[in-house]
Amino acid sequence: MEFKEAKNKFVQTWGALGSQWGINKTMAQIHALLMVSHEAVSMEDIMEELQISRGNASMNLRALMDWGIVYKEYKAGERREFFTAEKDLDELAVKISRERSKREIKPALKVLKEVSSIQSDNTEAEKHFVDQTTKLYDFVLKADNVLDKITEYKDNWLAKLVVKIMK
Amino acid sequence: MEFKEAKNKFVQTWGALGSQWGINKTMAQIHALLMVSHEAVSMEDIMEELQISRGNASMNLRALMDWGIVYKEYKAGERREFFTAEKDLDELAVKISRERSKREIKPALKVLKEVSSIQSDNTEAEKHFVDQTTKLYDFVLKADNVLDKITEYKDNWLAKLVVKIMK
DNA sequence: ATAAACTTTCATTTTTTTTTGAAACTTTAA
DNA sequence: TTAAAGTTTCAAAAAAAAATGAAAGTTTAT
């Protein structure tokens, strides 16, 4: 396999993986492309490589920047904007984890708390509902906290976790 | 909030959360419904509660059973099939984690290994590509292994992890 | 063996999500 | 200023994903 082929395969695979985890394909592909690019890439070049429209590129770059995992770069004497991805994988994972927690887990926890708080001195069905949603609330909260704690180590958290787990 | 309202809110929220994580809405909703149901539920009742077609119910129940998180149940003297969800949350998380690893992470690792193995005594761009994909391979492999190790504790793994992390 | 009761399948339709592209907007240089 | 070079926005189109429903398939009881 030669470089161009390998790069393309990587971008396609990352895109597919993204879809399966609820991230749109193009967004994941742009991210993949930037991750393996040595230098910052212009929007024009992203459009060209991925064969996508200007609007698509612009919107997904914006989204990636909102996630905090892609940065704008300005080159001296260049009018155009260039883009780079966060390349440190520990940092990348921390940012994704934080964002998903903030955008998805926290709101879900709020709902879980609400629905598990209904009055239910009534039927078996109601008792079971309250019991199960309470357990779910506790579980998700605990998992969310553990993730937060783990990623707090910041530098090299995954390696540190490995050590903690194994011993 | 009364029971019916709370139950509906939970089902809708779980469905939306599923979508954001790459699981189709109905599949997540059926799962939610079964999780908080005291007794096994018939397909008819699922269709009724979620206002979905027979085909949709059938296909998503099949998918949930393939994931190993929903079970068929037979009631004595009843022709119809009934369904229940895995209600132990530790077990549920282990199963989802195992399946996603098998279906998505392992194939991705295979591709990462392939593309990071190209020959590249060439340009800076190629060197960076190989370097970054190698790092990514190592990271994903390590993360996959850690998850596997954590869930190996089986019983109460999350609580045990909390203890390990905090001390 | 038959038919009633129920489930599965899959071509078609519907819905949802993503993408496009052109107009509006912004920035920079002359 | 002004116009060139670039970026963003968003209504409309396209593509992808999910849902429908009726026919085919199963199972069970008689």
CB contact under 8 A, A115 and B158: no
pLDDT for residue B123: 92
What are the Cα distances from residue A122, in Å, to A119, A135, B11, B92, B166?
8, 19, 21, 28, 39
SS (H, E, C) A29-91: HHHHHHHCCCCCEEHHHHHHHHCCCHHHHHHHHHHHHHCCCEEEEECCCCCCEEEEECCCHHH
Looking at the predicted structure, is the pLDDT value of residue B29 above 80?
yes
For residues B60 and B151, the model is more confident at B60
| Reported confidence tier of residue B13, pLDDT bands at 50, 70, 90 | very high
Q: Read off the tokens for B37.
A: 């149901």
For chain A, which ranges sit under pLDDT 50? none
Confidence of residue B67 (pLDDT cuts 50, 70, 90): very high
pLDDT at residue B122, as a whole number: 81
Q: Rounded to a whole number, what is the distance in Å from the CA of A163 to chain B's nearest CA?
A: 10
Distance CA A44, CA A81 (A): 10
Select the residue of B13, B132, B165 nearest A164 (Cβ to Cβ).
B165
**In the prediction, which pLDDT does B167 show?**
76
Q: Facing residues of B41 across strands?
A: B83
Does pLDDT of B34 surpass 90? yes
Measured in angstroms, the CA of B106 and the nearest CA of chain A are apart by 11
The sheet with strand A41-42 has its strands ordered as A41-42, A81-85, A70-74
What is the spatial distance between Cα A12 and Cα B111, in angstroms, rounded to a whole number? Answer: 10
Q: What is the dihedral of CA B148, B107, A35, B130, to 10 degrees?
A: 100
pLDDT recorded at residue B1? 85
What's the maximum distance between 2 C-alpha atoms anywhere in chain A?
73
- As given in the structure block, the two tokens for residue B139 are 């990271």
Any chain A CB within 8 A of the CB of B104? yes
Burial class (CB in 10 A: 0-12, 13-18, 19+), A119: exposed
**Interval B148-163: pLDDT, tens:** 999 988 889 999 999 9
Integer angstrom CA distances of residue A22 from A16, A60, A98, B20 = 10, 14, 16, 5
Q: Tokens representing B112?
A: 């990462």
**Between chains, do B133 and A10 touch, taking CB under 8 Å as contact?**
yes
Helix axes A157-166, A89-100, angle to 10 degrees: 90
Confidence of residue B81 (pLDDT cuts 50, 70, 90): very high
Cite residues whose beta carbon is less than 7 Å from strand D.
A 19, 42-44, 54-55, 58-59, 61-62, 79-81; B 24-27, 51-56, 59-60, 79
* Confidence (pLDDT) at B150: 92
Percent of chain B with pLDDT strictly greater than 70: 100
Q: Which residue shows structure tokens 């005594």?
A: B121
pLDDT in tens, B113-159: 999 999 887 899 999 999 999 999 999 999 999 999 999 888 899 99
Report how far residue A135's alpha carbon sits from residue A133's, in angstroms, rounded to the nearest whole number.
5
The encoded tokens of residue A47 equal 């459009």
